[in-house]
Amino acid sequence: MLQRIQTIYLLIITMLMGAMFFFPFAELLSQDNQIYLYSFNGLFLDGNESVYFSTIPPIILLSIIVLVSFVSIFLFKKRILQIRLIGINLMLMLGYIGLNYYYIKSFASQLTGVISYQIIIIFPLVSAILTYLAIRAIGKDEALVRSLDRIR
């Protein structure tokens, strides 16, 4: 199972997207010089644990992405199902990127502040690229198995 390159891709995707639960994506500096942190579950005032604005859709979407990535690791015997699930996960990742962009821009315009992105903001994009590579690798495996079935 772990010797297949697509399994390594899926494991890296799960770790990258799982890391997004723990770090803020962006900092917003408002006009009154207060720093707000935007993470997966909302906007927080820096140094304060109270939520300034809670966001539910990114929480749900990120949870689904991590769950599907992890579950698809164990579907190595059902390659077609694995390709379909990973394809759906790729679309969810692209939607998650767009949703985060929308929320960050919306909060910045509400606070009339300046955005400072963190490095973790590129994790969904890297995960989307790795997902595409995993789909290609699984497709090659499926083609190899079908070609061996023809020989018999």
89-141: pLDDT as tens digits: 999 999 999 999 998 888 888 888 888 888 999 999 999 999 999 999 988 88
Residue 55 maps to a domain: yes
Residue 121 maps to a domain: yes
Residue 45 maps to a domain: yes
Q: Rg (Cα) of the chain, in Å, rounded?
A: 19
Its domain, for residue 38, covers 5-147
What single-letter amino acid sits at 106? Answer: S
pLDDT tens by residue, 12-55: 999 999 999 998 888 888 888 888 888 888 888 877 766 777 78
For residue 100, the domain's CATH number is: 1.20.140
Residue 33 maps to a domain: yes
Residue 145 CA from chain centroid, whole number? 30
Domain count, the chain: 1
- According to DSSP, the residues that pair with 27 across neighbouring strands are 37, 116
Residue 152 maps to a domain: no
Residue 44 maps to a domain: yes
Q: What is the pLDDT of residue 96?
A: 92
Lookup: tokens for 104:
């960050």
Residue 42 maps to a domain: yes
Lookup: tokens for 51:
């939520």
What pTM value is reported for the model? 0.85
